[in-house]
Structure 1
Amino acid sequence: MAFYGGDKMGISYVFVLAAAIAVFVNVMNYKVSMDAMKELPENKEKVQSRFFLILALSEIIPIILIVYGFSNLETVSAMEELYMPGLLVIVLIGFAALFIVLQRIVGVPKDMKAFAKNFSNIAMATTMSIPIIAIIAMYTMIP
């Protein structure tokens, strides 16, 4: 199952790789940003702008992988070839959602609850974008 050379099964794993990179980097970026906001709530605007800068830079490799995957996209011979990649992407989505919700709940000062909720919703949407694109890409590979 190589990621090169037009292997149909491998192309689906390119989408999984893009989703995994996006989820793990975005979740770690969110955690660092939330911890910084919990420590110094008065610097939340600065932390939030740093979050978006790192987010933009961290999406470069997953976007390149998505473009590569779509450029080599072919239908698979049997739908069973997409079960494992699809399951992996769904697990990544569940992990990200659980992690972001738990970070929002634990240790947030009362005066910062509304900001943390809005920030978490933004982080959830940006973290889920690449995995959703990966699911759509795998859907287009169905015979």
Structure 2
Amino acid sequence: MVPYIFVAAAVLAVIPILILYKIHSSKLKEDPSLRDKVQTKFMIGIAISEAIPIILIVYGFINLEPVQTISALFIPFLIVLFLMAYAVFFILVNKRIDVTPESEETVNAFAMVSLPLSMSMPLIALVSLFLMMP
């Protein structure tokens, strides 16, 4: 059951980040001059949304123990990998939709900042799952 704690932490981290990205990137597409204000609100939103996943990661590390068979980790690995691929796809596709030439540079920079932020918790989950291998 512990592997799914890490999966839950990854899911509860990535989904809010993608929602925040969608909201704030649409604001940047409308008015690129709001870059500083939008990025500040985005970072504050990420900090707030990461609280529960961080608690889950700590709880998972407290209860970390090797699994009996490696097959118990296949589904959690696949879920986390799918989540990472979906986040990358979502951000890269969204940065190309409805972008004006004036806002293109700002939206691209915002997407490149958002990618590593959305990948951090799934990477921690993957490392945690590797630590559980027998």
TM-score normalised by the chain length of structure 1: 0.91
Q: Deviations over 1:27-84 (max 9, x none)?
A: 0000000011112222221111100000111111101100000110000010000000
Q: Residues 1-143 of structure 1 correspond to what in structure 2 (within 5 A)?
A: 10-143=1-134
RMSD (Å) for aligned C-alpha atoms:
0.8
Q: Is the 8 A contact 2:31 2:103 kept in 1?
A: no
CA contact (8 A) 2:32 2:106 kept: no
Which amino acid in structure 1 is aligned with residue 89 of structure 2?
Answer: L
State the distance in 2 between where 1:32 and 1:61 align.
21
Q: Which sits farther off after the overlay, 67-76 or 34-43?
A: 34-43
Task: Give the number of equivalent residue pairs.
Answer: 134
Partner amino acid for 1:54?
A: G
What is the CA distance between 1:109 and its match in structure 2?
A: 1.5
Shift of 1:112: 2.0
Runs (5+) with no aligned partner, structure 2: none
Work out the CA distance in 1 between the residues paired with 2:27 and 2:101: 16
Offset at 1:129?
Answer: 0.2
CA distance in 2 between counterparts of 1:117 and 1:38 reads 10
Aligned to 1:7: none
How far the C-alpha of 1:121 sits from its partner, in A, is 1.1
Displacement after TM superposition at 1:115 (Å) = 1.9
Aligned-partner Cα distance in 2 for 1:105–1:83: 33
TM-score by length of 2: 0.97
CA deviations on 1:112-137 (whole Å, 9 max, x unpaired) are 22221121111010000000000000
Greater relative CO, 1 or 2 (CA 8 Å, sep 6+): 2
Identical-pair percentage = 37
